[in-house]
Amino acid sequence: MEAQKTKRLYAGNTSHLYEVQSDWLQVPPNVELGYTHGIVTDKNDRVYIFHTGKPSVLVFESDGGFVTAWGEEFAGGAHGFYLHQESDGEFLYLTDTKQGVVVKTTLAGEKLLTIGAPDRPDIYDDERKYVPTDVAVAPNGDIYVSDGYGQSWVHQFTADGEYLRSWGGKGSELGEFKCPHGISIDLRRSEPEIYVADRGNHRIQVFTLDGSFIRSLDDDLDMPCSFFFHGEEMYIPDLYSRVSIFDGHDRLVAHLGEDRQAKGQEGWPNINKSYYRDNKLSSPHGVCVDSQSNVYIAEWVSDGRITKLVRV
């Protein structure tokens, strides 16, 4: 009797259709995934995962084959994760919520720069903690850090880590934040713009490179975590169980893997694994897109979950 073929699962819509690969990642048996917070791919489509287990940076080939691991010192605090192409190569920028730092490294893990809290006693003291959640780099090399889990500010530094300015603070007015969880630089327009995932206010705020407010977006958003720009499109992991794709005019193109019931499950995000469905998401936290337009999604669950969506 002919063996039964495995049913293929898909996500997306007619313009953005993907085949779901849920078991593609070959994690070594001696590595236990923690919360899988960040994910990026390099120019060769190698996949880098930033998670709260040890070691915290795992590197895989695009087919899921394990390459290497490093970053034991980020265990417990691994969060925002950004890969930046610079004139002399590709570099990683990592945020650690436990240590309260941003660290720049080579792809192999060599530390090049560490940035701690800015010298702002009017914002930070023993009670008011600095807890960075994400990082972005502008074309001129300036580094922007979102203090998402601390006092809800955005801080700007030079490429060498020298403090320049801050803006924000806790609140719901335009220019204020309630958990600026993610930050990214949008290069799709004539002038670069800073996108901030103002997660607690269920919106995105957009600023100039010097922190001047431009506009706010709140349509088709629940809990936006971060951003990934691919061509003219913007990919947003929305913690409430979907990845959203927006076009160059910030209009919705597609929701991927949406499951409106997931967040209502007992213990969410650490729900019973029997609830999982391969083509549905529970708590997307990080997203990236490779050179073949395949999408990789890291979810906020205690023992990790990484889904690959292959563009059809």
Instruction: Give the DSSP letter string of 140-175.
Output: T--EEEE-TTTT-EEEEE-TT--EEEEEE-BSSSTT
pLDDT-based confidence at residue 22 (cuts at 50, 70, 90): confident
Give the start-end residues of each E strand in 13-152: 17-21, 36-41, 47-51, 57-60, 66-70, 78-86, 89-96, 101-106, 111-115, 134-137, 143-146
| pLDDT tens digits along 138-186 | 999 999 999 999 999 999 999 999 999 999 999 999 999 999 999 999 9
* Burial grade of 64 (CB within 10 A; 0-12, 13-18, 19 or more): middle
| pLDDT tens digits along 78-128 | 999 999 999 999 999 999 999 999 999 999 999 999 999 999 999 999 999
Handedness of CA 295, 107, 78, 24 (dihedral sign): positive
pLDDT-based confidence at residue 66 (cuts at 50, 70, 90): very high
| pLDDT tens digits along 193-248 | 999 999 999 999 999 999 999 999 999 999 999 999 999 999 999 999 999 999 99
Mean pLDDT of the chain: 96
Taking the C-alpha atoms of residue 39 and residue 48, their distance in angstroms, rounded to an integer, is: 6
pTM flag (> 0.85):
yes
**The pLDDT value given to residue 6:** 66
All structural domains of the chain, each given as residue ranges with its CATH number in brackets, are 10-311 (2.120.10.30)
Strands 153-157 and 143-146: antiparallel
Estimate to the nearest angstrom the gap between the alpha carbon of 296 and the chain centroid: 11
Strands 163-168 and 153-157: antiparallel
5, pLDDT greater than 80: no
Greatest CA separation found in the chain? Answer: 74
Pair 201, 178: CB distance under 8 Å: yes
Q: Which residues have a Cβ under 8 Å from the Cβ of 3 and sit 6 or more positions away?
A: none
Closest CA relative to residue 40, chosen from 85, 1, 5: 85
1, pLDDT greater than 90: no
Which element (helix H / strand E) includes 205? strand 203-207
76, pLDDT greater than 80: yes
